[in-house]
């Protein structure tokens, strides 16, 4: 078996410290890419948010340098690195990198094979392209919030995870970058990728949106099969106060559920119009025993039932433990930490990973690797364009 990291040999420069671009960089680093975060010099530190130490896996496996992209030599430093890189990921608003002189066209002149990924909230074009936003905004305009549950006011509920930043943005960017790298391997040509988080939400919502386009339905909470219209795709509280997720869509799974709950009267009436009576019967059945008792009986019986775990429960969960989902790391000041590990990482034996000291930079080392002379680095540092 080849144990090499999946993206070994791929160098990524990332002009972001938070959000979808940072999430994409995290996954690429976990899959073996050499990732370098290019941040502003200390006097410009307010240009980017500084996340807490534990965020984004504490930058494990990454290196960092600081440059002033508004200074000519700062741009030169970045372009020297980009000339040798495979991927650049940036998260400025449309047009900013071009005004700074570090956009796709400027890099492509030096590196025709560059995969240049611009991640923005709404994309490089369109009437919203200049709008500021965050995860909640993109979930709002893509239909996600409207189709999700309701809060105590009757309005859309706040999501429990940054779905837009993570899936619609970060993984969207990772997929686009990996596809572009495959294409480049065949053609030798790079590409400018326009990754919009709002477009990614649209893709996540495609089942509901395509149904609307085809049949004219108006999806919403409790309106469709996957948003709680039927009792067999819902959440139920057990007798001990814990919650269970039920998703018995296929008839055979629904029949298994009904048999074990003692609700056999519904087996041949899965799509019966009397949904609320079925839901009341299921509610009463689940209330008769604890969550874990129900899970122990229903989950192995092909009834599509699982526990609703809180975060401590997730961390202690045996399935994730068996999958090696968590890793231990050593932080230079915080000591030993436990973190979510790398999906798809080819790691057989548990290891303790070293976390970089993010108060320091690898500027000299990185510039030396792309052939910048030491006296030039010294001059640039003295001029305040790198740090």
**pLDDT tens sequence across 93-132:** 999 999 999 999 999 999 999 999 999 999 999 999 999 9
| Count of CB atoms situated within 10 Å of the CB of 302 | 14
Residue of higher predicted confidence among 333 and 251: 251
Mean pLDDT, to the nearest integer, of 278-304?
Answer: 98
**pLDDT of res. 46:** 58
pLDDT at 90 exceeding the cut of 90: yes
Q: Is residue 298 part of a domain?
A: yes
For residue 313, tell me if it sits in a domain: no
Q: Looking at the annotation, which residues are catalytic?
A: 134, 165
Domain of residue 95 covers 11-204+338-382
Q: Are residues 236 and 139 part of one domain?
A: no
- Tell which of 287, 308, 329 closes a domain: 308
> Taking residues 78-98, what's their average pLDDT?
97
Return the C-alpha torsion angle 89, 361, 47, 175, nearest 10: 20
| 214 domain residue, yes or no | no
Same domain, 154 and 272: no
How many domains would you assign to the chain?
A: 2
Look at residue 282 in the predicted model and tell me its pLDDT. 98
The verdict on residue 220 lying in a domain is no
């Amino acid at each position: 078996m080849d144990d090499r990291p999946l993206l070994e040999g791929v160098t990524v420069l990332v002009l972001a410290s938070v959000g979808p671009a940072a999430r994409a960089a995290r996954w690429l680093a976990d899959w073996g890419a050499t990732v370098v975060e290019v941040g502003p010099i200390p006097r410009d530190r307010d240009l980017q948010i500084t996340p807490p130490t534990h965020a984004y896996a504490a930058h494990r496996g990454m290196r960092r340098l600081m440059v002033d992209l508004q200074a000519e030599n700062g741009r030169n430093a970045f372009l020297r690195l980009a000339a040798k890189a495979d991927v650049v990921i940036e998260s400025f608003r449309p047009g900013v990198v071009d005004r700074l002189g570090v956009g796709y066209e400027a890099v492509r002149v030096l590196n025709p094979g560059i995969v240049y990924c611009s991640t923005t909230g709404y994309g490089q074009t369109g009437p919203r392209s200049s709008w500021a936003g965050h995860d909640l905004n993109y979930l709002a305009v893509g239909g996600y919030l409207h189709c999700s549950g309701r809060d105590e006011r009757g309005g859309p509920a706040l999501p429990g995870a940054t779905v837009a930043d993570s899936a619609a943005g970060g993984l969207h960017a990772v997929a686009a970058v990996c596809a572009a790298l495959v294409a480049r391997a065949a053609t030798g040509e790079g590409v400018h990728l326009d990754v919009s988080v709002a477009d990614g939400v649209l893709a996540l919502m495609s089942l509901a949106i395509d149904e609307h386009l085809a049949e004219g339905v108006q999806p919403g909470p409790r309106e469709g099969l996957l948003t709680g219209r039927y009792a067999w795709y819902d959440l139920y509280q057990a007798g001990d106060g814990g919650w269970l997720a039920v998703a018995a869509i296929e008839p055979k799974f629904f029949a298994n559920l009904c048999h074990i709950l003692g609700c056999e009267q519904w087996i041949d009436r899965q799509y019966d119009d009397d949904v609320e009576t079925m839901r009341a019967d299921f509610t009463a059945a689940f209330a008769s025993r604890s969550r874990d008792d129900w899970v122990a009986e229903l989950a192995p019986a092909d009834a599509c039932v699982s526990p609703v775990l809180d975060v401590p429960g997730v961390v202690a969960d045996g399935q994730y433990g068996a999958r090696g989902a968590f890793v231990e790391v050593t932080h230079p000041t915080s000591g030993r930490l436990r973190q979510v590990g790398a999906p798809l990482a080819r790691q057989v034996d548990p290891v303790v990973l070293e976390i970089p000291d993010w108060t320091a930079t690898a500027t000299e080392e990185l510039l030396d690797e792309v052939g910048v002379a030491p006296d030039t680095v010294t001059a640039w540092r003295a001029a305040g364009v790198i740090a």
